[in-house]
Homo-oligomer: A and B are copies of this chain.
Amino acid sequence: MTSQTVAELATSSQTKLNRRERENLRQRKEILEAALQLFSNKGFHKVSMHEIAKQAEFGIGTLYKFFINKEFLYKALLVEKAESWHQRLMEILDQDGYPIDVIENYLNLRQKLFFDNLPLMRLYFAETRGASLNIRAGLDDELSRLYDEGLQKLATVFSKGIHGNYFRELDPYCMAVALDGVINAFLFRSIKDQDRFDQNQLDFALEVFLTGILNK
């Protein structure tokens, strides 16, 4: 009744939403945007529902129409964004083409998503890597699943590359994990030392990595 998911709000993505439904979706989005800004600046526990309501310019009660409690608001924030990123990345990895090109496209999208969503990315990694703040809401599971799926899909690309004789015969999943690690490392580094790392520096990662796995 309360705390509808996006999917439930937009009952059928095909159907035209009515005014009320569109309005709800807009409000929900505004609340999440306000929450994102606050959570990413101060972290889950330093942000009060009061603050979110104020920032979003809604009454506190309105927040609870969309999210049954603070944890679910937080979870929705992360999971929905993660799902959207995930989807876009999966599309890239599903495209045909030379594995190397696919990898390069993947890397470019990772980069773009990272810099377009910097504040949220910090929360995302805190939850993924660190101790999850929201065990109760099952946040950990939800995000982990997406993460795992992403790695699996990436591995299939390497698999294809190996069969196509482009890559050395190494465990494709391990290759996926390694690439992911390098990408994350460079992306996070580029926040800290923005002088040393221009975004293009990420290409370095690719080169080293590919050199290591290329057949010849």
Contacts and interface: CB of A to CB of B under 8 A. Distances in A.
Interface of A: 39-46, 119, 122-127, 129-133, 135, 144, 148, 170-171, 173-175, 177-178, 180-186, 188-189, 192, 196, 201, 204-205, 207-213
List the number of copies, as a whole number: 4
Contact of A129 (B43, B130, B212): B130
A186 B185 CA distance: 12
A110 to B, nearest CB: 13
B173 A180 contact: no
Contacts of A144: 192
Given A181-B181, A208-B212, 4 more contacts: A43-B132, A123-B131, A126-B129, A170-B208
A49 to B, nearest CB: 14
A175 B43 CA distance: 32
A140 B43 CA distance: 13
Residue of A40, A148, A178, A204 most packed against chain B (CB within 10 A):
A178
21 contacts: A39-B131, A42-B131, A46-B133, A119-B131, A124-B130, A125-B125, A125-B129, A125-B130, A126-B129, A129-B130, A174-B186, A174-B208, A175-B208, A178-B182, A178-B204, A178-B208, A181-B184, A181-B185, A182-B182, A207-B212, A208-B212
